[in-house]
């Protein structure tokens, strides 16, 4: 068994989610409220290590009325245990689980265990299927994936995403090295993930949210 996974993201009209080395504000305030309402509904919120290193997010519910108990479990996919010990995800505001591989430094893992829970899955890289199975057994039945382009690809590749929600911000970013919604190695035509459009919602004057279910 695995948790139900909703991949939520915001991207520009040309499919970019960030510049080459930093994030940017793509959608407006209405989408920010929507995202925090989603966070309140899910058991866990998952990101990759690059998001933690670059953005240093809190991954809590704080843009709407909420209490500490409304925060989802913060899950960081971090094969090599690189999560900085002063990261906001380790600030104690919510339960945090860092998922590492068995190849991660024992010293780094030991230091992380002093700050949060550590889950070991996979040898040199995190085995995502194993991780989600263990997270499910820990009581995390639903996950809001706010991954970067690399984690998004890996989760699609392992067929672990059930639903996709994308806010299209009314911007053009461009740039051959700007991060797209999904990067990684990519899929062949025969391998590509097929989506079924479920809903189109205009959330403010210029931004729309598209909701899809996946088909593998």
Closest C-alpha to 140, from 102, 96, 101, 100: 96
Q: What is the pLDDT of residues 110-136, one digit of tens each?
A: 999 999 999 999 999 999 999 999 999
Specify the DSSP element, H or E, that contains 198.
strand 194-202
What end-to-end distance do the CA atoms of the chain give, in Å? 17
Separation CA 23–CA 62 (nearest Å): 19
Residues composing the chain: 216
CA 145-151-153 angle, 5° bins: 105
CATH superfamily, region 4-215: Dihydrofolate Reductase, subunit A (3.40.430.10)
Strand runs (DSSP E) across 51-101, as ranges? 73-77, 96-100
Ranking 64-68, 181-185, 200-204 by mean pLDDT, the lowest is 64-68
Largest CA distance in the chain: 51
Could you tell me the CA-to-CA distances from 147 to 15, 91, 115 in Å, in that order? 15, 20, 22
Mean pLDDT value of segment 179-187: 90
Among all chains, which residue has been given the structure tokens 């931004």? Answer: 207
**List of residues 6+ apart from 1 with CB closer than 8 A:** 133, 136, 137
For the whole prediction, is pTM greater than 0.75?
Answer: yes
Would you kindly state where each structural domain of the chain is located, as residue ranges?
Answer: 4-215
Indicate whether 11 pLDDT > 90.
Answer: yes
Query: pLDDT tens across 94-106, in order?
Result: 999 999 999 999 9
- Mean pLDDT of the chain, nearest integer: 94
Residue found under tokens 């889950």: 119
pLDDT classification of 66: cutoffs 50, 70, 90 = confident
How sure is the predictor about 26, in pLDDT bands with cuts at 50, 70 and 90? confident
Task: Tell me which DSSP letter residue 176 carries.
Answer: T
* Cα 48 from Cα 80, distance rounded (Å): 11
pLDDT one-digit tens code per residue, 76-85: 999 999 999 9
Residue 24's DSSP bridge partners are none
pLDDT of residue 63: 86
**pLDDT for 150-168, tens place per residue?**
999 999 999 999 999 999 9
Q: How confident is the model at residue 87 (pLDDT cuts 50, 70, 90)?
A: very high
Count other C-beta atoms under 10 Å from residue 161's C-beta.
23
Helix (H/G/I), strand (E/B), else coil: 163: strand
Cβ 37 vs Cβ 201: under 8 Å: no
């Amino acid at each position: 068994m695995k948790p139900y996974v909703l991949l939520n993201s915001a991207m520009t009209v040309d499919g970019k989610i960030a510049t080459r080395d930093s994030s940017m504000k793509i959608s407006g305030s209405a989408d920010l409220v929507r995202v925090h309402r989603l966070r309140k509904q899910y058991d866990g919120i998952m990101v990759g290590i690059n998001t933690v290193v670059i953005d240093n997010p809190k991954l809590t519910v704080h843009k709407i009325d909420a209490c500490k108990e409304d925060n989802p479990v913060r899950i960081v996919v971090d094969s090599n245990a690189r999560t900085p010990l002063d990261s906001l995800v380790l600030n104690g505001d919510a339960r945090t689980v860092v998922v590492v591989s068995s190849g991660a430094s024992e010293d780094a893992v030991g230091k992380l265990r002093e700050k949060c829970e550590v889950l070991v899955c996979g040898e040199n890289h995190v085995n995502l299927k194993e991780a989600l199975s263990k997270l499910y057994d820990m009581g995390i039945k639903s996950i809001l994936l706010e991954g970067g382009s690399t984690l998004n690809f890996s989760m699609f590749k392992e067929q672990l995403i059930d639903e996709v929600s994308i806010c299209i911000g009314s911007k053009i970013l461009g740039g051959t090295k700007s991060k797209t919604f999904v990067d990684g190695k990519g899929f062949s035509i025969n391998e590509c993930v097929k989506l079924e459009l479920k809903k189109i919602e205009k959330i403010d004057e210029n931004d729309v949210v598209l909701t899809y279910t996946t088909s593998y």
